[in-house]
Structure 1
């Protein structure tokens, strides 16, 4: 029997039509359909533990997994932001218990629901296994879910009752994917030339955990799922857990592949996420044109400019030593500079002492303290006693600096050099409008056209597969195929030419 909830919440019988999607997915064309639409939907999960003796316990009331893309979860947190402390359990929690008991379930499992803006809830599915986001439940309860699964399978009863379980603090999980956010999150493969997660800690007021299966020097292949790590943080409150995640993401160093660390950092700073007002449409609504990088506020940019000036001074002192000018070398560095970042020119004056530097920006003086040395790729800096963690790469007349989802070219120039730099023409990117380039590393599955074919806007040209995803590449305008450089079965790199147009 097929049932569907109409907008008034009632149910009606559907005609006996075959449900092709259900049949293909589950081998069974029977289904239960929820409302045609759901206002402000949030994706909620409830972790269940059941033993073989009829005992059911919920290690956590619910977790929010609403930050997702293509139905793939990206950020999870527990408890859910819908949770109201010191209030009775929400009705969906009681329903999850009733469901597990009704089917005599044992082992770990996850009941998945949609909760709308009016707190109505709808059953999605129950996963009869641990979920990827199970660490957030473990962090707020202290229950080792893997251990309990093994003990349950061995026939042991649960060692606790529901009333014994308490929720402590708040946990966040960010999924690190080998996907390039600047290319619409297309998969990325290659060698991890640098893979250095933040240190794992477990203190009274903060914890950092990283579940991963990759290592520096390892190869990220096109044949597997793109998730390479689960970075988790815990703190007594949601606000402090987000702060811990911001810092951990800035400390996470990954090089050699495209990855979504910048996007994850941007989410942690997004006002809507910080407020807890998140739905499954968050990414589509807040990033309709895709992720283009975060924009730093003027306050953060000033702090970054002060840090860049102090670091550039250290690098310049090193340079004068290398050139052999050892006598009073600091006098060659100078005090006045112009920092250029994110389209802003920020004149600074820097003075140094044995404890650090003082950088003046306008009427404001910022105290900069750091033990950073040239060649180090991660800089931990205190600017006016507030921590700043920046990924750093030396560039001509400055640095590439990455933090909080922003990826900036930061130039530090003398005032005269900055004046001349304004006169330099901007280098334009090459014209590739007559080429179809491979947008990601992948395997060519199909070429849909031949040389001489006239194609229309939107027509399928080729299919490229990577990381369990098939991507259909389409024509962006009417054209004639001039040449084809790839064939089915061929592996391509990013931006490798697939075909040319006349």
Structure 2
């Protein structure tokens, strides 16, 4: 076994590898850019080596700089994590030449599976079910149209070297095929330096289901059940679960056997994933093979009890797998929610800044429930524009799917993140969505259920009543505390009122409270009563209550005459007033937001990379105005209507904050 390994990665996956290595008694070496000097993975590792500037191309994906760190450290093996160099055969070759073990598959397997055209041909030869399509090179748009007609619309036009949704278009007719071919070819050339395109049948109502495989260097190979990854946005996974709510045992077994056949056909060793598209009749088709550890691997670990990182290390050290296919359990249900630094209220645009509060739920593991949080950040740390915006992977496990979802709801509500935009509210809204709860999901779920984007969850009347009851009980506690601190009344508890009006946006509730030593009885105007019990005290940012017969977890910020309460995907201002205050408040005019219709505002923190207009220019609706780069993604800002540019307040190269004014129109 190795004495020391180097992790050629950063963030949560580097921390994840360090945890397994430490449990095995193996020393670890972290590499880091200048921007990551204070990162969590650097703090956790036994040693740390700086390898270059913040830009990943000059640090984390520079083979020369990583190899220099390997030599300096004396590490006997390298774990690449995912992303960066994890599927780069040149890196695997470089390590082999240096006599250092690559904790991953042979370079030949990476090369074979890294090219989508080659991998599909190999899959077909190995007896794996593949999507009907044309795997040869396509010369031009007219040939693309001819091939698309032969396959039958709709078709998927994809870049051979693609990934992460880049170089991918769906065409429903000849015009779409022509435009999709040109766009995919251009995007593939700029993103991957490889403009080869192929076309395959687009599977309608598709589900994205993948099989985890594990192979050693002695001819042993197993599959560790499946993961459902259908909840995606822009071809990026958001929520994953294991097993799939859709598969039956026969389909699961057939997919697993085909995945292992493909792995063995390419001489694969280590932990990898074979991805499939599954239609509504449980027909499945090979999509691609990821030859590295997947982001969503924790859900497989939770249902099997197998540490995949540990097994990767042992396989790289030449050990045999300690189990056979019949030994692998399928125990309970696990769900993973990816927490991203992105603002769901602004079209999920990237967000950067300091984590002024980062308090994940407590990690637990019992026979009834488990909560796990894989992260690479800490309170007070910075979310940089240079790297992937993922903050954490929150996972829950329970004996069945509904209880795993319930555990995830509670964990999300108890996850405190402040200082940046994040997608916690959206994740909560998905957990409550009837279609997700039923398991009737496809890869189009987010586009179909949130076609206008996410504006916050709309809670049902019964849930609003529970929150109103909680707000009233919490407000009474605050009023008693204020009375005690002021010393202005001796019998403060008796002097605080019992009748209140609570507003939650447009919802209005008249209620009264009676209290005892253990809590409060909240009675609504219509006669319904709810019991509220909690140990919440003013100043606490998280309230855990029992309202009625069910728990309620709320994030709490104190406001004049009430609170800002967040939970279950909703962000509510709760105003708690006496009946007289409510009567007077109804007479007050609503403050109108400022008119920004003549301004172009920066939608996210980023760098202006180009201005496409000048002062005095006449612009048309849809015309490009400027380009802003954030999280290494370019965002083209366009005119919403016809007008004339009156003033430009930014220049190329400027770093802008959210809502900074870029230009003004007449």
Shift of 1:28: 5.8
The structure 1 segments of at least 4 consecutive aligned residues displaced by more than 3 Å after TM superposition are 1-5, 9-16, 18-33, 86-90
Matched-pair contact (CA < 8 Å) for 2:132–2:200 = no
Query: 1:331: how far off?
Result: 2.7
Partner of 1:489: 653
Within 5 Å, which residues of 2 pair with 1:84-99? 84=248, 87=250, 89-99=252-262
State the TM-score, normalizing by the size of structure 2: 0.72
The equivalent position to 1:57 in structure 2, one of 219, 222, 246, is 222
Tell me by how many angstroms 1:383 deviates: 1.2
Residue in 1 aligned with 2:570? 406
Alignment of 1:370 onto 2:492? no
Per the TM alignment, residue 420 of structure 1 is displaced from its structure 2 partner at its CA by 1.7
Query: Equivalent residue for 2:15?
Result: none
What is the SS of the residue equivalent to 2:581? Answer: helix
Q: SS of 1:423's equivalent?
A: coil
Once the two structures are TM-superposed, the CA of residue 321 in structure 1 deviates from its matched residue by: 1.7
Residues 12 and 468 of structure 1: is their aligned pair in 2 closer, same or farther, counting only changes over 3 Å?
closer
Aligned to 1:499: 663
Residues 440-482 of structure 1, C-alpha deviation per residue, up to 9 Å, x if partnerless? 1011111111111111110111111111211000011111111
1:5-24 Cα offsets, whole Å, 9 max, x none, are: 9xxx8666878516736666
1:357 equivalent to 2:479? Answer no
Contact between 2:138 and 2:198, CA under 8 Å: does it hold in 1? Answer: no
Tell me which residue corresponds to 1:466.
630
1:391 maps to: 555
Contact 1:444–1:462 under 8 Å retained in 2: yes
Whether the aligned pair in 1 keeps the contact of 2:457 and 2:568 (CA below 8 Å) is: yes
Q: Give the match for residue 42 of structure 1.
A: 207
The answer on whether the counterparts of 1:177 and 1:228 sit within 8 Å (CA) in structure 2 is yes
Relative contact order, higher structure (CA 8 A, sep 6+): 1
Partner of 1:436: 600
Look up the SS of the partner of 1:62 in the other structure: strand
Which structure shows the higher helix fraction?
2
Name the counterpart of 2:171: none
| 1:456 maps onto 2:627 in alignment | no
Query: Are residue 17 (structure 1) and residue 139 (structure 2) matched?
Result: yes
1:147–1:385: structure 2 CA closer, same or farther, 3 Å change rule? same
Distance in 2, matches of 1:15 and 1:239, equals 46
Stretches of structure 1 lacking an aligned partner (at least 5 in a row): none
Number of equivalent positions? 497
Pairs within 5 Å for 1:86-125: 87=250, 89-125=252-288
Q: Which residue of structure 2 lines up, in the alignment, with residue 154 of structure 1?
A: 317
Distance 2:262 2:195 in 1: 22
Aligned to 1:421: 585
Alpha-carbon deviations, 1:125-173, whole Å to 9, x = none?
1111000000000000000000010111111111111111010000000
Q: Which moved more, 1:450-459 or 1:416-425?
A: 416-425
Cα-to-partner distance string for 1:383-405 (whole Å, 9 max, x where unaligned) = 12321111011111110001100
Deviations 1:273-311 (A, max 9, x none): 000011111110000000010011111111111111110
After the TM superposition, which residues 177-256 of structure 1 pair with which residues of structure 2 at under 5 Å, given as runs? 177-256=340-419
> Could you tell me how far apart the structure 1 residues matched to 2:134 and 2:357 are?
57
Per-residue CA deviation, residues 88-142 of structure 1 (Å, 9 max, x unaligned), is: 6343222211111111110111111111112222222111100000000000000
Distance 2:568 2:548 in 1: 18
Instruction: Determine if contact 1:34/1:122 at 8 Å carries over to the other structure.
Output: no
**Any idea what the Cα deviations from partners look like across 1:315-346, whole Å, max 9, x if unmatched?**
00111122222311123211100111131110
Q: Is 1:145 aligned to residue 308 of structure 2?
A: yes
1:30 and 1:481, CA in 2 relative to 1: closer, same or farther beyond 3 A? closer
Deviating more after overlay: 200-209 vs 215-224: 215-224
How many angstroms apart in 2 are the aligned matches of 1:23 and 1:337? 64
How far off is 1:428 after superposition?
A: 1.1
Deviation at 1:365, TM superposition (A): 1.7
Report the 3-state secondary structure (helix = DSSP H, G, I; strand = E; otherwise coil) of the residue aligned with 1:310: helix
User: Mind listing any 5+ residue stretches in structure 2 that lack a counterpart?
Assistant: 1-116, 125-130, 141-158, 160-184
How many angstroms apart in 1 are the aligned matches of 2:270 and 2:134? Answer: 35
Assess, with a 3 A threshold, how the Cα gap between structure 1 residues 129 and 16 changes in structure 2: closer, same or farther. closer
d(CA) in 2 for partners of 1:263, 1:435 = 28
Task: For 1:298-317, list aligned pairs within 5 A.
Answer: 298-317=461-480
**Structure 2: how far apart are the matches of 1:379 and 1:481?**
49
Report the aligned-residue RMSD.
2.0
| Residue 33 of structure 1, aligned match among 190, 199, 216 | 199
Which residue number corresponds to residue 59 of structure 2?
Answer: none
